[in-house]
Amino acid sequence: MKEATHACKRLHARLGVVFNTLENTKVDDANGVCQTSVEVVSKFLQFLERYHGKELVHRVVEHSTMMDQLRYLHEEVAMLFELLNIAPASNWGEEWEEDHRLQKQVLAATVKSCAVVQSELQDPRDRAEALLLLKFEVEQRGERNDDDVLGLMKSMLASVLMTSKTAEEPLPPWFLPLYELEYEPKPFARRSTGTLHRGVWGDQTNVAIKFFLVDDEVLDERMQRQLEKELEIIFPLNHPNVGRMFGASHISVSPFVVLEYAANGSLSSFLASSETHKEQMWRLLYEAALGLSHIHEKSIVHGNLKLSNILVDVDGHAKLSDVGLLRMRTCSILSQTKHEGSTSNNLRWRAPECLKRRPTFSSDIYSLAMCIIEAVIGEPPFAFLSDDDVRDNLRKREIPDKPNEMTDEMWELVVAMTNSEPAKRVGIKVVLDRLKVFAGKATYEPLKATDASSHDRLLDQHCPRAESAAVVIDSSTIWALASASVEEQDSLLQQMVEECISDGRRSHLYELNGVPALISLTTSSVSHFTQNLTETKDVLRGGNDQAKLKAAMYCAGLGTVMKGKELRDSGLVSALVEVLKNENDAVKLWAAVAVGRFANNDVDRTTIANKGAIVPLLVLLQAGTPPQKLWASYALAKLCQDNETNSVAIANSGAIPLLMTLLQDGSERQKEFAALALGHLAFASDNSSAMIASAGAVALLVSLLRTGSGRQKERAGFALGSLMSRSIDNCTAIEVDGGIELLVSLLLNGTDLQKESAAFALSTFVARGDVKSNATGLEEATSYLISLLTTGTNAQKEIAALTLGTFSVGTNASVLAVTLERAISPLVSLLRDGAKGPQEQATFALSHLAGMSDSSRIAIAGDGVISAFISLLQLGNDSLKEHAALGLGNLALNNTVNCNEIERGGAIPLLNSLLADGTEKQKRYAALAIGNLAASGNSNSVALANSGALVLLMTLLRSGSEALKEAAAFAMARLAVNEANCMIMVHDGAVSSLVALLQSGNDRQKEQAAYALSEFADKSYANCALIVREGGISHLVELLRVGTDKQKEFAAMSLSFICGEDELAEHRVAISRAGAISPLVALLRSGSDPHKRWAALALGSLAVKDDANCVVIERDGAIPPLIALLRSSLDRHKENAAFALGRLAAFSSDVSVVSALEDATAPLVELVQMGTEAQKEEAAFALGHLALKSDASCETMAKNGGISVLTALLRAGNEKHKAFATMALVNLAANNRNIHAQVVNEGVVGLLVNLQRTGDEAQKKWAAYSLGRLAFKSHPHEHN
């Protein structure tokens, strides 16, 4: 902390003043000033303790954090000064800024000294740590450092790389510096290999930090490489029964890993804490075995399995810990044994063969058996024996005696798991099967299957079964179906329908290949049941209760196995709806199930709603039995799915309050279906979303996300995403309730379906919400999604690619831009070599990432994606063509190199083909691509016109959909940059079509039409006249008044061009009569920067040769904001403001106008002196006319050095500069004898004489005229 010494001394001195005041003054502590003082001093001491003696690399990477904390301490001391009424001797803020500046300078000098850097990093391990710390700050935390500090980091990084003489390697995704964590110094547990500490990471994520005790001699470069490989393997692990590793550092002074915190501690302590916990033993052991199975699937051996390494999280689920850290433990043990002798850390759980060799999958099975024994007896195996005796038992292949608490069946499993020959031990699948039985299948399922078992129990409880013989469905049953008697088929079919409806039991039927048999039986069997159900409609309408029940059950089963195929007979739906209205409870229940099962595609959803199902389902939802409410909510959810018409009808029929009641007070399954239905309703319309949010759904859904079951979390994530897709306010409410953190956690740790819903929800938040405040969590989510692109299943790769693409188009996506760009390379790999689904979503993602930033466009094009996109335009399916067209359009944006490559690659004919014959989206994206290609330059614009694109775009503009008209207008505006293209489009009637869009189009159409007309107007007076004749003026003025920001900008631009020069006086009259001046002045006063630019130009044009317009412009208050623009930071503002003020000065003799313009004199002089060439021209023009009309302006010019400035312009300016400078100087001289003398003394006469000799004819005339006026010494305001 050397560089901060001076700043700390200042703070110490200020604290001394506080101390002396407290000591020497009787202080009334009613406001707590004494306690506050103690707290501030304590914080200062903690600050000094934390940062004292830091190495150079830490002083650099922690500089911003350290300075923020120090400034905060200064602010707290300032508060103490106020509380104690101490008058500060100096301005601490200014001193702080000076100290901070000096500290940066000293730090920069230190970093730039290669000798200092080398002296600090002589040890290879120190260099390796410095490299990772610097790369982490630059790549992961760049946004929290200012440019100066970031530059220091990059400079030091280069020095370290040069010193290390090794190739630069990418930052490991798991690397995490210790300063990113807050942790308790006192460990809550000690191991032979290190210590465990509670801590907090990021946005209050509770973690456990394990520090390992290692020697530098053991942790050499070879071991570091091995540890890196180990951490790379375990970091991506994501399973509900394996503790997450959030990060690690293998090269810190004390290497550490950051692990998921398990609030309920180890399984051994959890089971010992209460009898209730003990009752959960077999379920927890089963979950631990699931975790072990998962890591074995990933080719990871645990190697240290014991009950203390099985943890129990806050929800009461088991998680394996210490997974995959074999080499880290080995390092620690080797370090310890150098000083303390061998350790027996895991001896009692170790398989016999591990006395001589490394652990294996088989030895993990043995250790799990020891864990089972430990869980049952409540103490470690061989607890009463010494280590030597335990080793002796292991050599003799002896295991502990059978505990009395174990049944013979349980002990058989333990014996099978501990066979002395590793190859003969049972595998993990057998272990899982047996533990599942012990745990009780109906109660304990894998975490990701919990919801299916819940569904089964609810179905068993709520769906009455038809009476049938108790037959177990197995493979022999399926094979016997074909030859069974009619009566047997009848019974078996009914049972199979019930199996099929149950999500959990249906998987059993799938395994037996029973679904094809069921379909065959229901369509071709001769059983009484299927024969009766061939006329299902008649049965539902006129059968007895038992027959109707069977028919309704059959419909439910049929709906399940149809998997989205359309119903061929809508009369079946009518019959089911009638049953919903009138029959007994059991039949109504099964009819509701059937309606929900049939609603699997949009056609059938519409048919079911049109047949009147919504109202009776709402009746069941309001007044039905609990199971009827359950399945009515399910049916309504399915009817809402992707169907806006149904969703609006259901919402308007009063469903939302009923669903909210279920969400708040319903059963677990009811809450799940209510969340699903509310999600679909919210997604469908703003009105429904507002109703749902105002009913208090956000808090309830976030609560489900926090503590609900697996499927509840999935449905809640979807519902929250739907709410956020409709409203920024919903984004804020969900963020305040902690929903974003929970969604990130669900994405990282959930099942595939949970990940999908969380990804959808986070995408909607990124599109609308406060990304910056949630950047850490969202960056973590983004990084995780990127990792899935390479390590995930195909389904996970699809979700990841889709979500990353959606992230990139959010309004605040720039916050995540750096992280998102890391996705480009793996996405390109999927585009080239991925399976069909991931490839399509990778194309989607890349097409959207290309629109994110200039750097993303360069990166994507650099990976050869352009040729791949062009190939997809030709050979891809409709979806791929759509994505490819969008991708090419985004790659063309503001990138001439990409545009040229796209044109050379043959994309233009393919884009035209999509314009002509593509789908709606293909046409739209092709038009946008053509527009961006045209905007890149004249050559591409010509090539596009020659390809026939103009004719196709005109067709879309006249007869396309609303979106296509907008896209066509966009493209045509860019193509109009080329004058020949413009002539063709005008000839083909583009102006009338665009004016029609101005009149009756939607907002985006009006915006693009106004922009296109501005391009046309800029090309020729004839085009301006055509726009006026077509009635464009009134519509453009209307946009000035009430349009969107972009509409106002483009309308002002168009009007500024239509005003034209001298030849278009009638246009200026038409524009002013349409009332344009007042809204233009309003834009000038309070509009955006583009508004002000074009409003100034338009007002200046309206002033040309129209004193009446000048008077109105001044009366509406335009002159003060025009003068203010002269000092804008934007060059166009200054130029256009000078233009407008000059025209007002030139073409108005009104006293009020001239008087108001006098305040512009001084800034105009500054502009002549310091402005661009165009600004000097306009400012000199304005000064010349002000000098002619205002004595006050003349005096101001002379006082502010205007004469010498104008003379300099006359001496060295271009032709127009010289003409306008001459005009200004002559008019100045004519107004005042003193000024006349100054002008002469500046050498103006000589310059004019020289100009008369050497200039062109026009200049000679000007010079002669001006010399004559100077010689005449005319009176003030004398005109020529």
Coil, strand or helix: which one is 850? coil
Structural domains of the chain, ranges and CATH numbers in brackets:
2-170 (no CATH), 189-439 (1.10.510.10)
Q: Which residue has the tokens 């585009």?
A: 831
Of residues 1279 and 1187, the one with the higher pLDDT is 1187
Q: Which of 1032, 1075, 1087, 1038 is nearest to 1057 (CA)?
A: 1032
Sign of CA dihedral 609, 610, 611, 612: positive
pLDDT at residue 81 in the model: 84
Task: Flag whether pLDDT at 517 surpasses 60.
Answer: no
pLDDT at residue 489 in the model: 59
Q: What is the DSSP string of 1122-1179?
A: HHHHTT-SSHHHHHHHHHHHHHHHHH---HHHHHHHGGGHHHHHHHHHHS-HHHHHHH
Task: Flag whether pLDDT at 560 surpasses 50.
Answer: yes
Please state whether the predicted TM-score (pTM) of the whole model is above 0.75.
no
pLDDT at residue 504 in the model: 44
Q: What is the DSSP string of 711-749?
A: HHHHHHHHHHHHHHHH-HHHHHHHHHTTHHHHHHHHHHH
Task: Flag whether pLDDT at 206 surpasses 50.
Answer: yes
pLDDT at residue 219 in the model: 61
pLDDT at residue 57 in the model: 79
Task: Flag whether pLDDT at 1188 surpasses 50.
Answer: yes
pLDDT at residue 458 in the model: 29
Helix axes of 668-684 and 686-694: crossing angle, nearest 10 degrees: 140
Task: Flag whether pLDDT at 1053 surpasses 60.
Answer: yes
Query: Is the distance from CB of 676 to CB of 650 less than 8 angstroms?
Result: no
Percent of the chain whose predicted confidence (pLDDT) is above 90: 44
Task: Flag whether pLDDT at 155 surpasses 50.
Answer: yes
Of residues 940 and 434, the one with the higher pLDDT is 434
| pLDDT tens-digit map of 972-1031 | 988 888 888 888 899 889 999 999 999 999 999 999 999 999 999 998 889 999 999 999
Query: Which pLDDT band, with edges at 50, 70 and 90, does 515 fall under?
Result: very low
What does the alpha-carbon distance between residue 1233 and residue 1185 come to, in Å, rounded to a whole number? 18
Average pLDDT score, the chain: 84
Residue type at position 468:
S
Residue type at position 1229:
A
Task: Flag whether pLDDT at 400 surpasses 70.
Answer: yes
| pLDDT tens-digit map of 282-324 | 999 999 999 999 999 988 999 889 998 999 998 899 999 988 7
Identify the weakest region by mean pLDDT among 52-61, 221-230, 430-439, 525-534: 525-534
Task: Flag whether pLDDT at 530 surpasses 60.
Answer: no
What does the alpha-carbon distance between residue 803 and residue 234 come to, in Å, rounded to a whole number? 24
Query: Which pLDDT band, with edges at 50, 70 and 90, does 475 fall under?
Result: very low
Of residues 107 and 488, the one with the higher pLDDT is 107
pLDDT at residue 215 in the model: 65
Task: Flag whether pLDDT at 818 surpasses 80.
Answer: yes
| pLDDT tens-digit map of 489-502 | 556 666 665 555 44
Summarize the confidence of residues 1254-1258 as an average pLDDT.
Answer: 81
pLDDT at residue 869 in the model: 94
Task: Flag whether pLDDT at 518 surpasses 70.
Answer: no
Task: Flag whether pLDDT at 123 surpasses 60.
Answer: yes
The phi and psi torsions of 305 (rounded to 5 degrees) equal -80, 125
Q: Which of 490, 486, 511, 611 is nearest to 553 (CA)?
A: 490
| pLDDT tens-digit map of 734-778 | 999 999 999 999 999 888 888 889 999 998 888 887 888 888 888
Task: Flag whether pLDDT at 1043 surpasses 60.
Answer: yes
Which parts of 274-330 are beta strand (E)?
310-312, 318-320
| pLDDT tens-digit map of 603-659 | 889 989 999 999 999 999 999 988 899 999 999 999 999 888 999 999 999 999 999
What does the alpha-carbon distance between residue 1189 and residue 1198 come to, in Å, rounded to a whole number? 15
Sign of CA dihedral 777, 779, 780, 785: positive
Query: Is the distance from CB of 812 to CB of 852 less than 8 angstroms?
Result: no
pLDDT at residue 469 in the model: 35
Coil, strand or helix: which one is 544? coil
Summarize the confidence of residues 1100-1127 as an average pLDDT.
Answer: 95
Residue type at position 1059:
C
CA angle 902, 904, 909 (to 5 degrees): 75
CA angle 215, 219, 220 (to 5 degrees): 125
| pLDDT tens-digit map of 332-386 | 544 444 444 344 567 889 999 998 888 999 999 999 999 999 999 988 898 777 7
Query: Which pLDDT band, with edges at 50, 70 and 90, does 510 fall under?
Result: very low
Query: Which pLDDT band, with edges at 50, 70 and 90, does 478 fall under?
Result: low
Of residues 375 and 809, the one with the higher pLDDT is 375
| pLDDT tens-digit map of 156-179 | 888 878 777 666 788 898 899 988
pLDDT at residue 471 in the model: 41
Q: Which of 415, 383, 378, 412 is nearest to 398 (CA)?
A: 415
Q: In the beta sheet, which residues pair with residue 198?
A: 208
Query: Is the distance from CB of 370 to CB of 348 less than 8 angstroms?
Result: yes
What does the alpha-carbon distance between residue 1235 and residue 1112 come to, in Å, rounded to a whole number? 33
Q: What is the dihedral of CA 844, 850, 856, 859, to 10 degrees?
A: 80
